[in-house]
Structure 1
Amino acid sequence: MILRGEYGPRWWEVAPAYVGLLLAVGLPLFAVVWLWVRLGWWAGLLTAGALAYGVRAVVLRRREVAARNRRSAVRFTRADIEAADDRGFRRIVGRLLVRDGWTAKGVVVNGAGVVHLVGTGADGRRMGCAFERGVEAAGEDGPRLAATLRPVSAAPDDDGRDEPEGLAPLLLVVSSGRFARYRVVWAARNGVRLVDGGQLLRWAAGENLRVLLALDLDG
């Protein structure tokens, strides 16, 4: 390899890794065998069980950390949002919800095929999310067909569980633009949270939805 101009790690560079691997495997095995011989089979089995439990806990912890890191890495830019069609826009919002600890399942809510997202948070709070795009950005305040939210409890995946005490369902309408004035009034009267284009960009850049909407102050 060296004669051909190709270089790899030398033996003294990889030796510490091999020694560490041998110790990690050999020492626990030696401890199990020693206890088996000195104290009896029960001591060896207990030690082996404790080691297996410890290894499993470490593996699960590493997986949890890796999953959390993957979720926290979910980011979207203004270009991503503007380039998305309705389905892509809904997928972006769904991934942001999952990143922040919510479940998000698409459900068809009417004969026109309109899809909302429904799910629950880590605290058991139910969530329903609808979408509006396009007209809001133009600043039109006149009447128009708008995405309205039916009660979350009417969702097909409702399992009949009661809401945690003090936590009303979270109802969201997310837009890539700004909301017309009448929609802001409608939302305030009906307990619906609006996420406009500016808030969406902050959310997509990494801000948690609970911080964005001050959800921890609810109740």
Structure 2
Amino acid sequence: MILRGEYGPRWWEIAPAFATLLLAIGLPLFSVGWLWGRVGWWAGLLAAAVIACGIRAVVLRRREVVARNRRRAVRFTLDNVDAADDREFRRMVGRLLRRDGWTARGVLANDRGTVHLVGNDSSGRRMGCAFERGIETVGQDGPRAAAALRPVSAAPDDDGQEDPGGSGPLLLVVSSGSFARDRVVWAARSGVRLVDRGQLLRWAAGENLRVLLDLDRPAAGPE
């Protein structure tokens, strides 16, 4: 590697990290063995349990930090959304879903080329997400127009197994605009959750979808 002009880390550069790793592994094992031999087996088991609890706390804390950093990293503005085409809009929503613990893959919903996102969360709850785009014009002043109404079902179509004892499928329609009143009525009657422009702003800014839509409260079912 040196002959080719490529240099890796030297031994004195990795020695501190290696020594720290040995200390982190060896010190707890030495402590458990010392207590087991000098005090008794019960002291060794107690020390092992304390060490295991400490490791678990560190791992959970690390997961929280990673999740928080992921939420901070996956953020968009409404200007980003408005500038995106339909495919990029779906990609943005897919990243937000994955950020909040859902899987998300695209499926062709009909022969007109409409694409939905489907997936599930860690509990096995299935999800189907359809999209509507607001009617926007360059330099538009005043209130934004209502979202164009498209025939969407947001029905999940996934190969994953749904938890029979869990909640029903989460059906979403995400819009970059607003929803007309008849669309809101349709969603309430069909058990579909709507994410309009204002909610999309909060979601894209870092709010979790479960909090945004109060998913612990079941949606109204079909009448």
Q: What band does the TM-score fall into relative to the shorter chain?
A: 0.5 to 0.7
Aligned match of 2:41: none
SS in 1 for 2:111: coil
Counterpart AA for 2:96: L
Aligned match of 2:152: 148
Aligned match of 2:105: 105
Aligned match of 1:131: 131
Counterpart AA for 2:204: A
Kindly indicate whether residue 194 of structure 2 is the aligned counterpart of residue 194 of structure 1.
yes
Aligned match of 2:3: none
Q: Does the aligned pair in 2 maintain the 1:129–1:173 contact within 8 Å?
A: yes
Structure label with greater radius of gyration:
1
Aligned match of 1:12: none
> Which is worse superposed, 22-31 or 76-85?
22-31
Distance 1:156 1:26 in 2: 47
Counterpart AA for 2:211: V
Aligned-residue RMSD, C-alpha:
3.9
Kindly indicate whether residue 159 of structure 2 is the aligned counterpart of residue 157 of structure 1.
yes
Distance 1:173 1:199 in 2: 12
Counterpart AA for 2:71: S
Identity %: 59
Counterpart AA for 2:104: A
Distance 1:133 1:21 in 2: 52
Aligned match of 1:8: none
Matches within 5 A, 1:24-173: 24=24, 27=27, 60-61=59-60, 64-73=63-72, 74-135=74-135, 137-139=144-146, 146-149=150-153, 151-152=155-156, 155-159=157-161, 161-162=163-164, 164=166, 167-173=167-173
Q: How much has 1:102 moved relative to structure 2? A: 1.8
Q: How much has 1:195 moved relative to structure 2? A: 0.7
- Return closer, same or farther for 1:177/1:91 CA change in 2, 3 Å cut-off: same
Q: Does the aligned pair in 2 maintain the 1:175–1:196 contact within 8 Å?
A: yes
SS in 1 for 2:216: helix
Q: Does the aligned pair in 1 maintain the 2:133–2:176 contact within 8 Å?
A: yes
Aligned match of 2:12: none
Q: Give structure 1 stretches of 5+ with no counterpart.
A: 1-15, 39-45
- Return closer, same or farther for 1:189/1:80 CA change in 2, 3 Å cut-off: same
Q: Does the aligned pair in 2 maintain the 1:94–1:117 contact within 8 Å?
A: yes
Q: Does the aligned pair in 2 maintain the 1:105–1:119 contact within 8 Å?
A: yes
Q: How much has 1:193 moved relative to structure 2? A: 1.1
Distance 1:78 1:88 in 2: 13
- Return closer, same or farther for 1:34/1:98 CA change in 2, 3 Å cut-off: same
